[in-house]
Amino acid sequence: GAGVSQSPSNKVTEKGKDVELRCDPISGHTALYWYRQRLGQGLEFLIYFQGNSAPDKSGLPSDRFSAERTGESVSTLTIQRTQQEDSAVYLCASSLAWPGLAGGRFYSTGELFFGEGSRLTVL
Amino acid sequence: DQQVKQNSPSLSVQEGRISILNCDYTNSMFDYFLWYKKYPAEGPTFLISISSIKDKNEDGRFTVFLNKSAKHLSLHIVPSQPGDSAVYFCAASAVSGGSNYKLTFGKGTLLTVNP
């Protein structure tokens, strides 16, 4: 498709269950990001992928959270033993590149293209 | 510890007038700033960006101003249109500090443009 696609768009689950959220980035975008937005908060960085590797996992809230990416395409965010505080909109984004400096000048906008998000509600 | 702050949760303006959305940051490592717009049930969309080597960037009706000494940036929309009604997020990145992949977002400001 033309944009970032996420599924499911809505997920209601019971506390303690595992959930998987899926992201299909824009074709050709090597960088993929997961953010989440809890009610009344800004977007919170979780993890990013360059290709299939995730150099920085420090944003993941706990070891119940994991993410993987295969074929430099689809990514899955897995939350094990969900808790009520995990309730949020989980947003995936992709980009062709991110801002960089070359010769003292910024050479790209680093524009992220976001999907519509997966709304997770943990009862 | 909120490194990017949007202190106005909401703003209401009349169609045709100027909308000014403000953003403050605390991390002096931030050197790249972006504004995103978000409609209900949609993902955020990129609006405009500015690097710390500039103090102004303009794109049509949208202008972003950066005051590095005050650690403050603002987004001006002139003239405002009803279709501009959305939540606006300010975001920052420390590009030269090596964290260019990570955006730190504010909580957003809901702009309502009244016809």
A116·B46 Cβ contact <8 A: no
Check pLDDT > 60 for residue A107: no
d(CA A32, CA A111): 12
- Segments of B1-98 assigned E as strands: 4-5, 10-14, 19-25, 32-38, 45-51, 56-59, 62-67, 72-77, 86-94
A91·B53 Cβ contact <8 A: no
In this prediction, residue A66 carries a pLDDT of: 96
A42·B34 Cβ contact <8 A: no
Quick: pLDDT tens for B2-52. 899 999 999 999 999 999 999 999 999 998 899 999 998 889 998 998 988
Chain B CB contacts of A111 under 8 Å are: 34, 46, 49
In this prediction, residue B85 carries a pLDDT of: 97
Whole-number average pLDDT of chain A: 88
A113·B104 Cβ contact <8 A: no
Chain B CB contacts of A8 under 8 Å are: none
